[in-house]
Amino acid sequence: MSNEPTGKAVVRPARVADAKAIMTLVNELAVQQVMLPRSPASVIENIRDFFLAEVDGQFAGCGALAVTWTDIAEVRSLAVQPAMQKHGIGRILVDALVADARRLGIPRLFAFTYVPGFFAKMGFSVCQHEALPHKVFNDCRHCPKFLACDEIAMTRVLDPKASPASLFGKPQRAMPLPQRTPGFVAPAGLKPTRQA
């Protein structure tokens, strides 16, 4: 008997009751080192950021849109149940997060990932970590891998006509930013974005 999905995936906003399923899936994939783990508090406190995909009423995957500033938001905790992967569920979750970002008027998205090929297919391009100071100062500085991050930073522009953000409120460079080594090369087939 196959475990492959038979019905169409439906995406909906997450509810508090979904927190356990989200955390379980994300942390199972973290053990496989394909994403970073999430604590119960980090999922519950940010439950409004999450969308869920269900197939035949069963939890199939999740993703979150975390607004980090007026002009940018992060796609995070994008995860699909192993038995449901390769069926377009990750794509429809990203599409839902992009639609939510557009609704909020956010012109640019970013993601830190161990699977850059998927995000490249979704229109993201590789960038340097230091191009995302709000992520670095809000989250990365608390990570044990802060100065040796092995995730790939990627961005996607949703509205190229949006005016550049004002410098008001930008974090000061009061601590070192993680830097790629001078010989950093984007993974094969991925084109780095230009630095501003």
- Which tens digits make up the pLDDT trace of 144-188? 555 556 788 899 999 988 755 544 344 444 444 455 544 555 555
Instruction: Considering the domain delimited by 9-157, tell me its CATH architecture.
Output: 3-Layer(aba) Sandwich (3.40)
Q: What is the pTM of this model?
A: 0.77
How many whole angstroms separate alpha carbon 194 and alpha carbon 63? 27
Model pLDDT for residues 40-50, shown as the tens digit of each residue: 999 999 999 99
Q: Do the bridges between strand 125-127 and strand 108-113 make them parallel or antiparallel, or are there none, so unpaired?
A: unpaired
Q: What is the 3-state secondary structure (H, E, C) of 39-87?
A: CHHHHHHCHHHEEEEEECCEEEEEEEEEEEECCEEEEEEEEECHHHCCC
Which residue ranges make up each domain of the chain? Answer: 9-157
DSSP code for 129:
G
Q: Which two tokens stand for residue 183?
A: 């010989």
